[in-house]
A and B are shown apart, each in its own frame.
Chain A
Amino acid sequence: GLRKCLISMDTHHLEESFQEIKRAIQAKDTFQNVTILSASETLQSIKPSDVCCVTKNLLAFYVDRVFKDHRELNPHILRKISSIANSFLYMQKTLQRCQEQRRCHCRQEATNATRSVHENYDQLEVHSAAVKSLGELNVFLAWIAKNHQEISA
């Protein structure tokens, strides 16, 4: 069942890549009173059965929107973001197989959670939204590390 639909991903190097750019990226985010992946409301309330679908949807959110909308001049930051993006593409392929075997079912709660993330994103000017979403990657990575580890433990 769902227990096998996991990303056996070592988030350590992803987290390290993020830690290197965290200060710079978060410093560009001047809207401290707005969040996109607001942890407590959205991700923490996700049930184990919805983990696969929410992971798939948030990977798509980052790959199809955030990484595309983000403008970056600093080559070091750009390299780190590209490394993270490539890891996300790999994770998408892993979940794609689950999708094909119909083991990544999306219930309404999971769809609602993802929709609220997109709605938060749309509240901001697109580049500000992309910077804020990148600054909140640690929330998504911590959630992945916790949820994809917990089920398989």
Chain B
Amino acid sequence: VPCVSGGLPKPTNITFLSINMKNVLQWNPPEGLQGVEVTYTVQYFIYGQKRWLNKSECRNINRTYCDLSVETSDYEHQYYAKVKAIWETNCSKWAETGRFYPFVETQIGPPEVALTTDEKSMSIFLTPPEKWKRNPEDSSVSMQQIYSNLKYNVSIRNTRSNRMWSQCVTNHTLVLTWLEPDTQYCVHVEAFVPGLPRPTRPSEKQCVRTLKDPSSEFKVK
């Protein structure tokens, strides 16, 4: 049923939230319509193509987000998306995103971090974040395969001295030596692509304790 366009205010703050190529369109409800049962319809456009395309799973939806990862999976293309609000026979004009370029704009999620220690050293093992995949059973693609120059910023804190330092590494294993025995160290890591400014998402802080130094215990006795 055609609706009266412009009868409602437009949705606001329409943007793509993109992490590891999972591209979700999100927006805020139109202002001044609290308590009104508004629904939304989404369309998307591949820059350089001819027509706007429907996203059937996001037609007349109540939620204020729509996963367009499948439609924007060719990350070297650029895209637009738009959404309109509908209520009974009224609808808003389209609210449109800027041009979205997944290859440059997707946020790089945190790597997986594993830690092992002995008395005076700690080994940090990193696994690059995985690119979004259509089906769980699809083979995994690492973000490193897309960004061959992916690097890691490893931040370490000695919780006793509160001394903090960080190191930028390319490979997936980092061994820290000359640590203090029987001391807790906390680590978090963020992956980033040099040359392209984009927000990063650090890993959860992980803390481990170095082992006691047996020789120091022997002296005490």
Contact = CB atoms under 8 A, between A and B. Distances in A.
A45 B103 CA distance: 16
A23 B74 CA distance: 22
A139 interface: yes
A149 B149 CA distance: 7
A15 B196 contact: yes
A44 B103 CA distance: 12
Contact count band on B? 20 to 34
A33 B49 contact: yes
Interface residues of A, number: 27
B134 interface: no
B125 interface: no
A150 B150 CA distance: 11
A35 to B, nearest CB: 4
A150 B45 CA distance: 31
A121 B49 CA distance: 16
Interface of B: 45, 47-50, 74, 76-78, 80, 98-99, 101, 103-104, 147-149, 193-197
Interface of A: 10-12, 15-16, 19, 22-23, 26-27, 32-35, 38-40, 44, 135, 138-139, 142, 145-146, 149-150, 153
Given A33-B49, A138-B104, 20 more contacts: A12-B197, A15-B196, A16-B197, A23-B98, A27-B98, A32-B48, A32-B80, A35-B47, A35-B48, A39-B77, A39-B78, A139-B101, A142-B101, A142-B104, A142-B196, A145-B149, A145-B193, A146-B148, A146-B149, A149-B148
